[in-house]
Every structure is written in structure tokens, then in C-alpha cells.
């Protein structure tokens, strides 16, 4: 089966890139991510938001790093660390259906740190491994461009050859 996959599916990520994606982050990478995340965002389910992590980093930094590094070393997180709070906020006073609400999801800040590290690393290879026809989630590509392409395609279909 491995020969079949190796023969017909191109290798998109080199072994060096794979090592970069999965390597355990060091103290400085984690600290950099913490301070680049929004400090004034809402607190997570554990009650601690970015402002806590920013203002208390000298006290909690080593412990936060140990938790984040534990994920990369053991490939799992404590279940409560991946918990979120989902709230529906009414958009209008006389709310009658689900479309009258905004959905707000608040995540645990430590999980945001792990997610941001992974997202930053994936961004380094994403543009190359995601099809050029896909526009979402790749820096420099915009979903609005799809509207223009779709419009041009419809115009071409309506022309008589």
C-alpha cells in the first residue's frame, strides 16, 4: 500500500518541513506567540485571558511553556484545555430565530497558544501545498477574487462561439 501511495500521491511536505511543523517550540517561540496574541480578548473558560498571561508572564511563563511543550512531546492536551464557551448574543431586540443571534466562541488561552504556533508554522508551507484554485486561508489570496473569476466564467459561458 505504501508503494501505491508513494507512486501516485506527490510528496507535498519534505521531511525537513515536517520536522519544522512538529518540533517542540522553545521558550522564546512560545513567549513571542503569547505576546502577539490579543491581550484584551475575552477570558477563556478557565477565566484567564491574554492580559493575565501578558502581565504575569514573569511568574507563569515557565509553567505555560511546559504545558505547551507537553502537547508537542506527548501529542495530547488535557480535555479541559480544549474546552470552549459558546454564547449566542442577540443582534436585535425581538429575536425570533437563530439568524437573529451572533455566535461568540471563547477558547482557552493556552489552547490559542498551541493553535497559533501550529498556524504560524503551517503558513510557511500552505501557499505551496494548497491548490492555487483555493483562495481561503492563504496569505495573499482573497475570497473576493473568486467572485471576479466566477463572474468572468459566467460571462464566457453566455458568449456564443
Using DSSP's 3-state secondary structure scheme, residue 78 falls into coil
* pTM of the shown model: 0.75
> 153 and 83 in one domain?
no
Boundaries of domain holding 149? 135-161
In the prediction, which pLDDT does 9 show?
A: 67
What are the pLDDT digits (tens) for 43-67? Answer: 888 889 999 999 999 999 999 999 9
Least confident of 26-30, 63-67, 106-110: 106-110
> 109 and 148 in one domain?
no
Side-chain-side CA neighbours of residue 93 (13 Å): 0
* Triad 31, 36, 41: Cα angle to 5°: 115
- The beta strand positions in 34-160, using DSSP E, are 84-90, 101-107
> 160 and 105 in one domain?
no
Amino acid at each position: 500500500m505504501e508503494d501505491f501511495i508513494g507512486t501516485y500521491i506527490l510528496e507535498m511536505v519534505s521531511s525537513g518541513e515536517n520536522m519544522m511543523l512538529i518540533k517542540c517550540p522553545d521558550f522564546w517561540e512560545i513567549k513571542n506567540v503569547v505576546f502577539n496574541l490579543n491581550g484584551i480578548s475575552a477570558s477563556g473558560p478557565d477565566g484567564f485571558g491574554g492580559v493575565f498571561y501578558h502581565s504575569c508572564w514573569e511568574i507563569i511563563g515557565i509553567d505555560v511553556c511546559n504545558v505547551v511543550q507537553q502537547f508537542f512531546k506527548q501529542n495530547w492536551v488535557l480535555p479541559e484545555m480544549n474546552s470552549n464557551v459558546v454564547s449566542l448574543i442577540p443582534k436585535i431586540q425581538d429575536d425570533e430565530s437563530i439568524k437573529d443571534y451572533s455566535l461568540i466562541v471563547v477558547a482557552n488561552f493556552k489552547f490559542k497558544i498551541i493553535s497559533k504556533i501550529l498556524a504560524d508554522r503551517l503558513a510557511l508551507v500552505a501557499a505551496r501545498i494548497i491548490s492555487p484554485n483555493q483562495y481561503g486561508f492563504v496569505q495573499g489570496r482573497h475570497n473576493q477574487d473568486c467572485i471576479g473569476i466566477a463572474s468572468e466564467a459566467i460571462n464566457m459561458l453566455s458568449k456564443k462561439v
